[in-house]
Structure 1
Amino acid sequence: MLGLCLMAGVLLAALLFPVVGGLGLASNRAADTVDQTSGELTKAEPPLVTTVLDKDGAPIAYLYDQYRIPVPSSGISDTMKAAIIAIEDKRFFEHKGVDWQGIARAAAKAGVEGETSQGASTLTQQYVKNYLAFVVGEGSQEAYEKATEATLGRKISEARIATQLEQKLSKDDILTAYLNIVPFGNGTFGIGAAAKAYFDTTPDKLTVPQAAMLAGLVNEPSRLNPGAAVEPAIKRRNTVIDKMRDNGAFGSDAKVAGEKADEYKAADIGVVADLKLLPNGCVGAGDGPVYGFFCRYLVDYLDTAGIPTDKLIRGGYTIHTTMDPVATRAAKEAAEGQVPKNQPGIANAMAVVEPGDDKHRVRALAANRDFGNNADAGQSAYSIPAEVTKFGAGSIYKVFTAAAALEKNITGIDKQIDVPATYTSKVYKDSGKGYTVRNAGKYPEKMTLTDALAQSPNTAFIILEEKAGLNNVVDMAHRLGLRESMQGVNKDGNPLKPDGSNGPSQGDVYKRDNSGSFTLGAGPTSILELSNVAATIMSGGKWCPPTPVEKVTDRNGNPVQLKEAPCDQAVAPEVANALATGMSADVKPSGTAHGAANGWNRPMIGKTGTTEDHWSVAFIGATPQFAGAVMTFTDGVAPQVICNGSPPRLCGTNDSGGVFGGQVAAPTWFNAMRTIHGDAEIKPLPPVDPRYR
């Protein structure tokens, strides 16, 4: 008791005199800090939930650090306010931030069995403590310990801030702020989230038993968890009801108040069977889940666009995304239709981007895998369709060679080019000798560039690569859309470190080593970037970053400006349009995608790809409305050959039955795109300038 009395005296002195030099308890500098903190508390913005919406405005994911639903004073019932005041600070409307009477009472009862120091800390002080722990300290263990440490210095600081706060805010403002800050257990913060989670209601509709139970949780939310500890929770609730009765919440007539209290205490606990907790994060986003890969890409994209993840999960943003749920589900079903999710060691992923002159909107990111942490259940925790895979897209890279050759007027799409069965390059080397390539099948000695893109002879494109220049071809891949794949990763597909210690980039390695094999597409590739290449071609050569964001608003509904890369004219429209028509024959009878097209009747561009070792296959295609890419690759511990079948399977190192891009990747694309296009208008490809014929 002597100690508590001494503390009360020191607290009073500290409140009256900013400098208590002899005791070393405060200083002018500390007082300034207190003034600043109390000012912050008057305009506190607690962590809120960020909501992610699809293109139609439907929620697809929630991202948060603290599940909180802010409510104004008018949205909180008087019953709830009465309950928290009764149990935590019955003289709330009488004191000025520090309850000296409560401190004296705590001193008088100190040491009495069963009594605590209740009354020594007001709701205003508790608000200060919780604000410092969960808003300033972001809920970290260190911040919580610092905000609740049992030291005289902390109590003095807390008391000073509380008294200053009471001069700046009304009692109702403080009470509302407190009820919006404090934790209520099970990951809920604030009365809005607590009312929803435990009773599936709103704070303005809380009954007396409900309000009393929630008020009781503030004391020890873990120990009193009504979902796991029903009896302790009911006991604590009934204690709160008794305090409400004693505090006059049920009227001045003692008999009537007692009867009401008994009635309230007889009620069941009333908590919903399954707590209404908000799903958090990208795992499980979308029923299925379906939207996790898009969500993961969105978070990564925003991190580089000016909203880092730690800010995203606390800021209460509304993210209006470009995600099309119809396209995403179609891509998911098509990917699983070719490779079941439980098929070991084989991933099948698709990205869909909408072409445009001002924006390339990402409409779908999907895979046969679900987004999650359980590999045994066929889940993947990284964004397969968006990140750079460690596998190549095969002959799709011949598109970049064709584009470079067209740009330099080396050939036209109808011009005959050489197609020898075998070709040894004098420009590129292999172990100090000439680089020799062979065609996988029989081809005419000459064919048009259009037919070569459809049938994919290796020798023709090695010759074109020599004429166009390897550096120009590599740069063309970057310009058309493989920006991260060429300059953001090394030759092994690992992201480059800021200091460049694990470099150089993949594109620079090809240039440095003068590797003619670039046009055969063996290096790490991003499926999303491949899709964006097709979008660039169908946008008249206009490259734009593949964006998952339509707009972002903050907690107050104000627009948030993102730092997105501007669009640029990657190639002249005439080159892009010629390339589009040059890629239009892949679905014809002689094309490698003809079997997969199976009656497709829309003008489109397309190109299949198969790596030499059959570890991965791919398809890229687009119409004027939608562009997309699919890659099928071995994603097990050790790469293996993928063999064709229903479903495809891993077949070790025997590539005699290795799968081709026209067999798995292309069917995935066409099956998805039929649904995605639906009954949309059939549009023609752009006209070709005669100079590029």
Structure 2
Amino acid sequence: MPPGRRAIPARRPSRFPRNQKRLGAPMTQELSGRKTARRSRRRSRVLIALGIVIALLATAVVVVVVSLPDDLTIGRLSQKSNIYATAGDGTPTLLASFYDQNRVEVSSDAISQYVKDAATSGEDPGFYDHGGINIMGTLTGAATTLFTGEVRGGSSITQQYVKNVLVQECEALSDDDERMSCYDTATETSPDRKLKEMSLAVGLEKKYSKDDILRQYLNITGFGGSVYGIEAAANYYYNTTAAALTLPQAASLVAIVNNPVKFQLDVPENPENGAANGYAANKDRRDYILDEMLRLKKISAADHEAAIAAPIEPTITEPSTGCQTAGGSAFFCDLVLQTLRNDPAFGADADTRLANFRLGGYNVYTTLDLDLQTAALDTLAENVPTTYDDWDVGGVVTSVGVGSGRVLAMAQNKDYSQDPAVQATGANYTGINYNTDLGQGGSNGFQTGSTYKVFTLAEWLNQGNSLGDTASSWERSDWGEFEDSCNGPQDYGTDFAPSNDSSSDDDSYYSALESTIDSINTGYIGMAKELDLCNIRKTAEAFGVHRADGAALEQGASAVLGTNEIAPLTMAAAYAGIANNGVTCSPIVIDRITGPGGAELPAPQSTCAQSVSSEVAAAMTYAMQRVMTRGSGTPSYYDTEPEVPMIGKTGTTDENKDTWMAGASTKVATIAGVVNVSGAGEDQRETYFESGQAAKARHRMWPDMMSVANAKFGGDEFTEPPRDLVR
């Protein structure tokens, strides 16, 4: 450079070629690369920070978890309970199941290995290696949620099991508010809850083997809706057992556990499952589990390939749930449920009984004999319609074992439903059990007509009278005063004028035997006038007789003719007591109960008491046998095959609104009747069903029932009464 001249700095070369705009493509690519690099550096810094946080959290969690209590008491799992009847060959037959949670707890050897491997591979690959906590998985999920807002899991199988156990403890609470508060605490998203869960998981791992924890996890976890546990899931989704599940079925069911709503198999139209394939979401999750099983060498490549190719084809099998699934035996089933809920033998108090009922896991073996029950259902269907114009018609049949109180059959002419919406669809539906008391099934009972007269006969004999002794029996309008040691003398004046059936003679005096054979009203009022009305009531009560509505038995003179509303089951038990030499046994519907694990539990027991002396009972059966062979019961007696010694009594209420046939062998007592449910209806002598006159339907049903009972159980001779009671 020449002296004295200033150096001219060289022009900085442009970053852009000449004539190229700054917003051109090469500029954009370079900037984009730099931005990507910056994002990559930021992500690295986040990941480094995330790692630091995880490490710090891991250290803190270990310290905190170790200091927390780790003892978890594992209670009973809520399970399905079953109600059984007895088939003709003596084997139990399922009537219905009921549950809050459809679950059947099974042992480890009853669960397919495919299920166990699918669960560990998909939910917790390190299950057999960690001490209860997948610490890095849990904290990675927590930190990811913290930094990115994306909710991530990471709980081990043991942790998931702990959470389910805590939820089950809530489910066992009988108080609704307490149960919901407990549930909110057990499922809240909070560090405290998570730390407690982790501590309890560590404690569990100290007490139980890995295989046992896995078994309990598979029994407790939810599989969508009310389906809980792998056995119920296999039953419901694939109509098979947990032991028989195939590889693709096992993986598909385990997939549901991850998100029961998203991956469920019983709602294929779920929008979350994809429109093209109703099970697309489940298949994606299933195939992921299959991939993990292959990676962890739980299955072979060939098995993996075949399972991936297998379509998802559930066979939804609805479980029997509720008494409505018991068909014609639903009303008996309902009585069983009422017994379980109300009987002290099932729990010390109402709360305990309700808690037991909610937890389930019971097998209840009832007294119902399906041979007799089938006969009851068939004869009702043939002889009494479910509905009839202008008449709320009811038909009932109940049979009770003599000497045991076991209810062998119980049926009525209606379809069972406790759903008001269903009941509104037709008069053929009802939730009321006509055979039982108000507190057992909602019925107020029915007037019994002359079937009630046998209790006056019993008191007549109690007082030393014989069957041959007579009473003033002519029809009159003023019966005067009756003795009543409870309420004082009762004077009926001209307000009480019972009459006899047109078929009876109009004699002035009838013997007790004649009045019984021909069911003569005035003969029985004449007997009552010589007795104490209060004592007649007490004698009826000695046979277990009571009003269905819970009120005290009426004991006026008209009550002698059967004006009290009484449940058919009550009358069947009373007639069984007469046939049992005067020893009445309260009706029972349960033979035995087993609890979770098969342990025998106390079942409600029949209580038996001597209602009248055996001599009095023998005289009663002497008269009631002749009702069957010579009197108003002959249509039922001579249509029963095979014939065995039988006792009986007919009953008809005012205007022929209700008609009854009650009787027994020495083995089985049966009540059959046609009634007006609402109290107003047709004169049965003027009404004809397809099977014949309505008033005679009782004489078609009763022999149908007793023919089956006699063929199955036989019948012995009744005890001969002392001569002085028959003279």
Counterparts in 2 of 1:190-229, with a 5 A limit? 190-229=229-268
1:129 to 163, 169, 182: 163
Is 1:552 the equivalent of 2:593? yes
CA contact (8 A) 2:468 2:511 kept: yes
CA contact (8 A) 2:477 2:495 kept: no
1:635 to 652, 669, 677: 677
Identity of aligned residues (%): 25
CA contact (8 A) 1:86 1:240 kept: no
CA contact (8 A) 1:293 1:366 kept: yes
Counterparts in 2 of 1:456-535, with a 5 A limit? 456-483=519-546, 485=547, 489=548, 493=549, 495=550, 505-507=551-553, 510-511=554-555, 515-535=556-576
SS of residue matched to 1:67? coil
Change beyond 3 A, Cα 1:434–1:585: same
- For residue 362 of structure 1, what is the amino acid of its counterpart? V
2:718 to 678, 685, 688: 685
Change beyond 3 A, Cα 1:686–1:212: same
CA contact (8 A) 2:471 2:526 kept: no
CA distance in 1, matches of 2:567, 2:657: 15
CA distance in 2, matches of 1:680, 1:565: 20
SS of residue matched to 1:435? coil
Is 1:447 the equivalent of 2:480? no
Change beyond 3 A, Cα 1:143–1:383: farther
Specify the alignment match of 1:501 in structure 2: none
Give 1:434 shift.
Answer: 5.8
CA contact (8 A) 1:346 1:634 kept: yes
CA contact (8 A) 2:122 2:288 kept: no
Give 1:436 shift.
Answer: 3.3
Is 1:361 the equivalent of 2:392? no
CA distance in 2, matches of 1:394, 1:161: 67
Cα-to-partner distance string for 1:401-435 (whole Å, 9 max, x where unaligned) = 111111111x2123333321225232255787663
Give 1:439 shift.
Answer: 2.5
Specify the alignment match of 1:395 in structure 2: 450
Give 1:190 shift.
Answer: 0.5
Specify the alignment match of 2:582 in structure 1: 541
Cα-to-partner distance string for 1:19-53 (whole Å, 9 max, x where unaligned) = xxxxxxxxxxxx4xx63xx1x12xx3212332322
- For residue 266 of structure 1, what is the amino acid of its counterpart? A
Backbone CA RMSD of aligned residues: 3.0
Change beyond 3 A, Cα 1:144–1:377: farther
SS of residue matched to 2:398? strand
Specify the alignment match of 1:498 in structure 2: none
Give 1:126 shift.
Answer: 1.0
- For residue 567 of structure 2, what is the amino acid of its counterpart? S
Higher alpha-carbon Rg: 2
Specify the alignment match of 2:7 in structure 1: none
CA distance in 2, matches of 1:9, 1:642: 87
CA contact (8 A) 1:209 1:237 kept: no
Is 1:171 the equivalent of 2:210? yes
TM-score, normalised by the number of residues in structure 2: 0.80
SS of residue matched to 2:397? strand
Is 1:63 the equivalent of 2:108? no
Greater than 6 Å deviation, 4+ residue runs: 1-4, 111-114
Specify the alignment match of 2:192 in structure 1: 153
CA contact (8 A) 2:248 2:308 kept: yes
- For residue 14 of structure 1, what is the amino acid of its counterpart? V
CA distance in 2, matches of 1:556, 1:15: 34
Change beyond 3 A, Cα 1:540–1:398: same
Change beyond 3 A, Cα 1:555–1:679: closer
Give 1:155 shift.
Answer: 1.8
CA distance in 2, matches of 1:680, 1:355: 11
CA contact (8 A) 1:184 1:218 kept: yes
Specify the alignment match of 2:685 in structure 1: 644
Cα-to-partner distance string for 1:76-99 (whole Å, 9 max, x where unaligned) = 223212211222222222322222
CA distance in 2, matches of 1:10, 1:538: 79
CA distance in 1, matches of 2:284, 2:266: 17
1:242 to 274, 288, 307: 288
Change beyond 3 A, Cα 1:434–1:80: closer
Specify the alignment match of 1:383 in structure 2: 433
SS of residue matched to 1:204? helix
Is 1:72 the equivalent of 2:115? no
CA contact (8 A) 2:594 2:600 kept: yes
Greater mean alpha carbon deviation, residues 220-229 or residues 306-315: 306-315
CA distance in 1, matches of 2:570, 2:721: 25
Give 1:142 shift.
Answer: 5.2
Specify the alignment match of 1:268 in structure 2: 311
1:594 to 620, 634, 652: 634
1:414 to 468, 478, 486: 468
- For residue 16 of structure 1, what is the amino acid of its counterpart? V
Change beyond 3 A, Cα 1:666–1:94: same
Specify the alignment match of 1:22 in structure 2: none
Give 1:333 shift.
Answer: 1.6
1:17 to 67, 75, 94: 67
Change beyond 3 A, Cα 1:62–1:348: same
CA contact (8 A) 2:172 2:355 kept: no
SS of residue matched to 1:518? helix
SS of residue matched to 2:323? coil
CA distance in 1, matches of 2:247, 2:83: 35
How many residues are aligned here?
A: 629
Change beyond 3 A, Cα 1:190–1:245: same
Give 1:561 shift.
Answer: 1.9
Cα-to-partner distance string for 1:82-139 (whole Å, 9 max, x where unaligned) = 21122222222232222221133224544798964121x2211111111121354249
1:437 to 486, 498, 501: 498
- For residue 454 of structure 1, what is the amino acid of its counterpart? I
Is 1:667 the equivalent of 2:707? no
TM-score, normalised by the number of residues in structure 1: 0.83
Is 1:87 the equivalent of 2:122? yes
Change beyond 3 A, Cα 1:556–1:680: closer
Give 1:522 shift.
Answer: 1.4
- For residue 506 of structure 1, what is the amino acid of its counterpart? A
Specify the alignment match of 1:26 in structure 2: none
CA contact (8 A) 2:658 2:675 kept: yes
Is 1:618 the equivalent of 2:660? yes
Change beyond 3 A, Cα 1:453–1:127: same
CA contact (8 A) 1:619 1:669 kept: yes
Greater mean alpha carbon deviation, residues 198-207 or residues 521-530: 198-207
Give 1:281 shift.
Answer: 2.1
Give 1:144 shift.
Answer: 3.9
SS of residue matched to 1:424? coil
1:325 to 344, 366, 370: 370
CA distance in 2, matches of 1:118, 1:183: 17
Change beyond 3 A, Cα 1:390–1:52: closer
CA contact (8 A) 1:426 1:434 kept: no
Change beyond 3 A, Cα 1:237–1:306: farther
Richer in helix (by share): 2
SS of residue matched to 1:547? coil
CA distance in 2, matches of 1:309, 1:104: 41
CA contact (8 A) 1:634 1:642 kept: no
Greater mean alpha carbon deviation, residues 395-404 or residues 97-106: 97-106
Counterparts in 2 of 1:24-39, with a 5 A limit? 31=69, 35=71, 38=72
CA contact (8 A) 2:478 2:494 kept: no
